[in-house]
Amino acid sequence: MPEMHPPGIDRTDLKVGGFVLALGGLALWQAAEIPASPLYGQVGPKAVPYGVAAVLALLGAGLVVQALRGGWSHTLEEVREAPPTNWRALALLVAGLLANIVLIVPLGFCLAASVQFVLVAAAFGSRRLGRDAVLALVLTLTVWFGFVMLLGVNIGAGLLEGGILRLLGQELP
């Protein structure tokens, strides 16, 4: 039977809630410092940072309220011994990051990000590399075309993107 704690303020939980609330305030302050051009009609470069700041502030406020009501950490299950480090998964994650860094310039965003996607999926236990590669290519091409064609933000065209644009009779942006 779990040990019952008397109602009241849990100071440790209050510190955690205050820290998250402070992170929200810091994010809000930094979002306000982002220069915005008057050319942006509706959504500018501050939208996502303001959203992140708002979520952090709400989460922090919720944690503070919970701490004032007695806290939440005493309800967590007993800490169990951590499983051994999965070195294979860690190596695949690092390989995915390094592959993206090394391949993005010579091959472009889609191929580099697809290689990273497949390696990260394998790190999480996927054994269906072909499916992962097809899914990665569809996702990365969708993201690339969304950024370049819809938003007008060039995130780097590579071999695959250039080939597809040539097939469509268009030039690289």
Six token digits for residue 18 = 């205050």
Kindly state whether residues 159 and 99 are assigned to the same domain. Answer: yes
- Dihedral (Cα; 158, 120, 76, 58), 10-degree rounding: 10
Kindly state whether residues 53 and 92 are assigned to the same domain. Answer: no
> What is the pTM for the complete model shown?
0.58
Pure H helices in 124-170? 129-145, 159-167
In a domain, 4, yes or no: no
Domain, as residue range, for 114: 87-167
DSSP letter for each residue of 30-99: HHHTS---TT--S--TTHHHHHHHHHHHHHHHHHHHHHHTT-SGGGSPPPPPPPPP-HHHHHHHHHHHHH
- CB-CB contact of 105 with 44 (8 Å): no
Kindly state whether residues 40 and 103 are assigned to the same domain. Answer: no
- Number of neighbouring beta carbons within 10 Å of residue 25: 14
In a domain, 5, yes or no: no
pLDDT digits 0-9 by tens, 36-66: 766 656 666 777 888 999 999 999 999 998 8
- Which band of pLDDT confidence, cut at 50, 70 and 90, is reported for residue 123? very high
What's at 158, amino acid-wise? G
Please, what is the end-to-end C-alpha distance for the chain in angstroms?
A: 65
pLDDT digits 0-9 by tens, 146-166: 887 777 777 777 888 778 777
Kindly state whether residues 100 and 125 are assigned to the same domain. Answer: yes
**Structural domains of the chain, count:** 2
Kindly state whether residues 15 and 61 are assigned to the same domain. Answer: yes
